[in-house]
Amino acid sequence: MGIMRWAFYNRLKEEYTDVGTACGYTAKNTRIINGLEKDHAAGARCTGGNPKSIPLDAIYMQKAAGKRNRQIHKAAVNKGGKRKLNQSPKHAFGFQLFGRVQMPDGRKGFIFGRRSSGSFDVRTLDGAKLSAGISCKKLNLLSRRTAILTEKEDMRLPPHA
C-alpha cells in the first residue's frame, strides 16, 4: 500500500471517530496468548481486539472482475489495411466471462476462459482449476457475472475454547 495507506487512514479518521492502526506482531502475540490457530479468520479477530469471539461458519471471498479486454484491435494490421478485432464476443453459447456455473459433480465455479468450440475453463476465485475444458452442455448457469464476484466457502471449524 505504501503512501496510499496513510492517505486512506487519514480520510477514514475524518469520517469516523473510532479508527486505529494495528501491526502484525500484536495480532501474533494475541493469537499465541489465546491459543488460536494461525489463519485469516483468527488474525482478523485478534486485530479487531476480540479474539475469543465465535467465528462464522463460512468465509466469503470476493474479487473485482474487469468488464472487457481494453484492446479493441490487434496491434498488427493485416494486408489491405484492415484491422482485426481483438475482442471476443460478449456471450458464447449463452455464457459470459466470469459467470457462476455448476458442474455435473456439484462443484461451483466461475468461467475464466471461453472458447468458440464450446468448452470453458472453470475455476474458483482463488484460481484453483475445476476444469480446463468442460463442454458448455454439461454446465448449469447459476448467475450472470457482476462487477464483484463473491464465493462462499463453508468452514467446518472445531468448537471454540
Q: What is the pLDDT of residues 3-62, one digit of tens each?
A: 888 899 999 999 998 888 777 788 889 999 999 988 878 888 888 888 888 877 887 888
Residue 98, CA distances (Å) to 31, 60, 65, 95, 142 in order: 37, 17, 7, 9, 11
Which CATH entry fits the domain spanning 63-151: 3.40.190.80, 1.10.357.10, 2.30.30.140, 3.30.479.30? 2.30.30.140
Q: Where are the alpha helices (DSSP H) in the chain?
A: 3-15, 24-33, 40-48
Question: For the chain, what percent of residues have pLDDT higher than 70?
Answer: 94
DSSP 3-state of 44: helix
Q: Residue 127 pLDDT > 60, yes or no?
A: yes
* Radius of gyration (C-alpha) of the chain in whole angstroms: 22
pLDDT on residue 69: 67
Residue 155's pLDDT band (cuts 50, 70, 90): low
- For the chain, the structural domain boundaries read 3-55, 63-151
Query: Rounded to an integer, what distance in angstroms lies between the CA atom of residue 1 and that of residue 49?
Result: 23
Phi then psi dihedrals of residue 130, to 5 deg: -90, -35
Q: What is the pLDDT of residues 66-93, one digit of tens each?
A: 776 677 778 788 888 888 877 777 778 8
Rounded (to 5) percent helix, strand, coil in the chain: 20, 30, 50
Which amino acid, residue 96?
A: Q
